[in-house]
């Protein structure tokens, strides 16, 4: 089935009433000036290679993918394989304030944006997003999660994507309703709320945050206050939602001699490499760290939330890391803190008369068995 396109003028009661396929929906469903009642397929909506677009301005009552057994399983929590949705969904398209009442599927991969998750007033049915198998992509809820009959439920370790609550960044935005990781009956179910302490790896690698969100301390590498070593030390800062670099000063970096109580001195950003990670909520910083210093990193004016309008973050603190002063043994040629195979390989690679080679450990101008023996004697962690 598809595409199905409503061309009605702007009206909250017109558009697409009902779309149902006992197999697949492989075309777009559009009511860009109206509403969509329900979109349902028993097997699949879109494909990984050809995701569909579903848009409504005023509301989308339900987006469902699965057999009747799948639909009947909720909210009882029966273990039923549901379908898969590969789509870009917008229920408040074209300046609307459209909501969704329920999204139920096994897999959701794509983008899902809505004004709010809206309970059914007439029947008392909850407003719910239930994904039983896998979630990847982005989910943005423009307003709050604050109703006792709202919830989002993902499987354990199922938060692979990004969930942003209050993506319009309204001052009164709150997150009170639960986001569950783990289906009903799962003894290890986690209930997320703002600034949850669980690290990203325990959730599935993604993030959920209330704008303006802050640094997700327990997911940073290393943790704030930690130590980094190696030939090219770097850190990864993780946030409770996706971030964007919008200018030349996304962060400020300052440093002081490690172990001292001196004040921090600003360091120019030009010597550092700042990259957004594969995970949208990650910022990687490397290239400019020097051994023997403690560094302090804080948000600058150009580190923003990666949602429409790029509003500012709520990170007002700082992150600190100490860079080890260097290896305590000259045999550690790669600066890893251990003498091992990489160092041995350096000796073999530079074997022979090699001017200035770091593998010439005795300084006689030749990389030979003496240097090889020196590596083997020092094998293991540097003391």
Nearest-angstrom CA–CA distance, 83 and 70:
8
Give the pLDDT score at 76: 52
Contact 61, 38 (CB under 8 A): yes
Q: What share of the chain is helix, strand, coil (3-state, %, to 5)?
A: 10, 40, 50
Give the pLDDT score at 74: 59
Nearest-angstrom CA–CA distance, 95 and 24:
29
Q: What's the chain's Rg over C-alpha atoms?
A: 27
Give the pLDDT score at 80: 63
Contact 320, 294 (CB under 8 A): yes
Give the pLDDT score at 75: 56
Using 70 as the pLDDT threshold, list the residues of the chain that sit under it.
Answer: 73-80, 326-328, 383
For the chain, how long is the longest CA-to-CA vector? 88
Contact 374, 362 (CB under 8 A): yes
**What residue ranges in 277-344 does DSSP mark as E strands?**
282-286, 293-299, 303-305, 319-323, 338-339
Question: In this structure, which topology does domain 338-381 adopt according to CATH?
Answer: Type 1 dockerin domain (1.10.1330)
Characterize 310-328 residue by residue with b for buried, 16 or more Cβ atoms within 10 angstroms of its Cβ, and e for exposed. Answer: bbebbbeebbbbbbbeebe
Give the pLDDT score at 328: 59
Class of the CATH-defined domain 217-323: mainly beta
pLDDT, one tens digit per residue, over 20-51 is 999 999 999 999 999 999 999 999 999 999 99
Nearest-angstrom CA–CA distance, 356 and 348:
15
Give the pLDDT score at 111: 98
Contact 89, 113 (CB under 8 A): yes
Nearest-angstrom CA–CA distance, 205 and 209:
14
Contact 216, 206 (CB under 8 A): no
Cβ count near 262 (within 10 Å): 10
Give the pLDDT score at 373: 92
Residue 326 to residues 158, 254, 334, 337, Cα–Cα distance (Å): 40, 20, 10, 8
Nearest-angstrom CA–CA distance, 125 and 109:
25
Pairing, β 366-367 against β 352-353:
antiparallel
Question: What number of CA atoms fall less than 13 Å from residue 366's CA on the CB side?
Answer: 4
- Tell me, rounded to whole angstroms, the distance of Cα 139 from its chain centroid: 11
- 3-class DSSP state of 68: helix
113, β-bridge pairs: 90, 140
Residue 122 to residues 56, 102, 116, 126, 151, Cα–Cα distance (Å): 22, 15, 17, 11, 18
Contact 141, 167 (CB under 8 A): yes
Give the pLDDT score at 79: 54
Contact 120, 143 (CB under 8 A): no
């Amino acid at each position: 089935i598809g595409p199905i396109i409503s061309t009605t003028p702007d009206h909250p009661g017109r558009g697409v009433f009902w779309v149902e396929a006992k197999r697949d929906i492989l075309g777009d469903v559009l009511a860009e000036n109206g509403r969509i009642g329900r979109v349902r397929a028993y097997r699949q909506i879109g494909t990984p290679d050809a995701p569909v677009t579903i848009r409504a301005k005023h509301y989308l009552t339900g987006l469902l993918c699965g057999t009747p057994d799948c639909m009947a399983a909720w909210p009882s929590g029966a273990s039923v394989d549901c379908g898969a949705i590969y789509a870009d969904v917008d229920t408040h398209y074209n300046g609307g304030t459209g909501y969704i009442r329920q999204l139920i599927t096994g897999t959701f991969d794509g983008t899902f944006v809505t004004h709010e998750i809206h309970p059914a007033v007439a029947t008392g049915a909850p407003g719910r997003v239930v994904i039983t198998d896998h979630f990847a992509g982005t989910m943005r809820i423009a307003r709050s999660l604050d109703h006792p009959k709202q919830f989002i439920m993902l499987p354990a370790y199922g938060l692979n994507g990004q969930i942003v609550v209050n993506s319009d960044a309204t001052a009164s935005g709150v997150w009170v309703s639960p986001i569950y990781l783990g289906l009903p009956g799962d003894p290890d179910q986690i209930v997320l709320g703002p600034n949850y302490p669980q690290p990203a790896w325990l959730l599935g690698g993604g993030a959920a945050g209330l704008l303006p969100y802050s640094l997700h301390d327990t997911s940073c590498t290393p943790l704030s206050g930690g130590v980094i070593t190696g030939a090219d030390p770097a850190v990864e800062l993780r946030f409770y939602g996706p971030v964007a670099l919008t200018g030349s000063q996304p962060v400020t970096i300052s440093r002081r001699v490690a172990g001292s109580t001196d004040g921090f001195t600003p360091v120019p950003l030009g010597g550092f490499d700042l990259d957004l990670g594969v995970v949208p909520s990650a910022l990687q910083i490397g290239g400019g760290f020097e051994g023997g210093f403690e560094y302090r990193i804080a948000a600058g004016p150009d580190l923003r939330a990666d949602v429409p309008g790029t509003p500012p973050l709520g990170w007002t603190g700082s992150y600190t890391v100490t860079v080890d002063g260097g290896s305590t043994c000259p045999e550690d040629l790669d600066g890893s803190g251990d003498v091992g195979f990489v160092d041995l390989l350096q000796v073999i690679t530079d074997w022979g008369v090699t001017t200035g080679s770091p593998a010439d450990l005795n300084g006689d101008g030749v990389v030979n068995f003496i240097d090889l023996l020196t590596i083997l004697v020092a094998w293991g962690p540097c003391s």
